[in-house]
Amino acid sequence: MMREGLASLLGNQPDIEVCGEAETAAHALEMIPSRRPNIVIADITLPGKSGIELIKDIAAMHPEVATIAVSMHDETIYAERVLRAGARGYIMKMEGGKRILEAIHKVRAGEVAVSDKMSAHILRMFSGHPAGGEESPMRQLSDREFEVFELIGRGLGTAQMAAELHISAKTVEVHRAHIREKLRIKSGSELIAYAARWSQSTENK
């Protein structure tokens, strides 16, 4: 519904043409060579491969195509990750269609489309002065480890995470071990509790 509504909004703009829609990252990558978009608007949460992985693939395979990420998640959690992955913008869904249109025009003009608050945060990071003087422990996690951490916070078990991410249960356990090491967490139960608290705190932002 979100995709169809956005396509309708964009299709009614005199200077924008919607050249295709895709439900999955794999479908999007298949369509890009024939549809030749200037900009891809990608949701962070996709079935199978995540939107962050899709953004990385587009940056590597089609560097001429700009991407804008949209998400229900707070920008302070994801914006830096998607920009590092190669996106040119990050918009929260709650900001609405007008904000997405503004982002498209910014990206077409060669600018990066994030909020003023996030722009200031990114400048602090690039200057070596993270907000509050301390680096968030979440920044230590790779994108895949971060995905696993999120799923732990949502209460998924190893087999469920493996199915969700299309990886083996053994690989999930390796990621869990790396997460515990990076976050200095001693046990699996402590990791589950920590991830659950973090997930709840981000939902309340």
| 36: Cβ contacts below 8 Å, ≥ 6 apart | 19
80 and 125 in a single domain? The answer is yes
Highest mean pLDDT: which of 72-86, 96-110, 133-147? 96-110
Higher pLDDT, 136 or 33: 33
The residue-averaged pLDDT of 165-191 equals 91
149 and 122 in a single domain? The answer is no
For the chain, give the percent of residues with pLDDT over 70.
90
pLDDT higher than 80, residue 137: no
Domain with 190, as residue range(s), is 137-203
**CA-based nearest residue to 172, from 193, 196, 151:** 151
| 73: Cβ contacts below 8 Å, ≥ 6 apart | 44, 92, 202
Token pair recorded at residue 74? 């707070």
125 and 155 in a single domain? The answer is no
Q: What is the chain's mean pLDDT, rounded?
A: 86
Give 187's DSSP letter.
S
pLDDT higher than 70, residue 204: no
**CATH number for position 192:** 1.10.10.10
25-71 pLDDT, tens digit per residue, is 999 999 999 999 999 999 988 877 888 999 999 999 999 999 999 98
Question: What's the one-letter identity of residue 101?
Answer: L
Q: Of 73, 104, 131, which residue is a domain's last? A: 131
Q: Of 90, 109, 131, which residue is a domain's last? A: 131
126 and 167 in a single domain? The answer is no
pLDDT at 127 (0 to 100): 58
Q: Looking at the 3D structure of the chain, how many domains does it have?
A: 2
45 and 107 in a single domain? The answer is yes
The residue-averaged pLDDT of 18-30 equals 93
106 and 171 in a single domain? The answer is no
pLDDT at 107 (0 to 100): 94
| DSSP per-residue letters across 62-115 | -TTSEEEEEESS-HHHHHHHHHHHT-SEEEEGGGHHHHHHHHHHHHHTT--B--
Work out the angle at residue 108's Cα, subtended by the Cα atoms of residues 105 and 112, and round it to the nearest 5 degrees.
80
**CA-based nearest residue to 91, from 56, 49, 42, 139:** 42
**CA-based nearest residue to 69, from 47, 46, 98:** 46
Residues 152/173, Cβ–Cβ less than 8 Å: no
**CATH number for position 95:** 3.40.50.2300
Q: Residue 133: pLDDT band by 50, 70, 90 thresholds? A: very low
136 Rama sector, left if φ>0, alpha if ψ -120 to 50, beta otherwise:
beta
pLDDT higher than 90, residue 102: yes
